[in-house]
């Protein structure tokens, strides 16, 4: 999968990862993919709901442990 833009939202809590992703997507073209890193566990559900509400495609979500903390990666395709 080609990534067109990346956003580091680690350390931010709801609603900031979504707000920053929304702004990043607004500067992208249809079909382009945004990769977002987050540490907020709520971001998993938040990005699922965001995709449903906005019509953007949530291509994938990944969770991995980074030391003591889990890290969440979200891939959104611009509608």
Q: Which residues are catalytic?
A: 14
Q: In sequence order, which ranges of 1-79 are alpha helices (DSSP H)? A: 16-26, 43-54
Dihedral pair phi/psi, residue 42, rounded to 5°:
-70, -15
Distance CA 67, CA 79 (A): 35
């Amino acid at each position: 999968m080609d990534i067109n833009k990346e956003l580091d939202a680690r350390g931010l809590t709801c609603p900031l990862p979504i707000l920053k992703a929304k702004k990043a997507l607004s500067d992208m073209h249809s079909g382009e993919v945004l990769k977002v890193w987050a540490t907020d566990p709520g971001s998993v559900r938040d990005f699922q709901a965001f995709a449903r509400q906005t019509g953007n495609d949530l291509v994938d979500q990944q969770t991995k442990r980074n030391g003591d903390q889990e890290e969440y990666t979200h891939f959104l395709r611009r509608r």
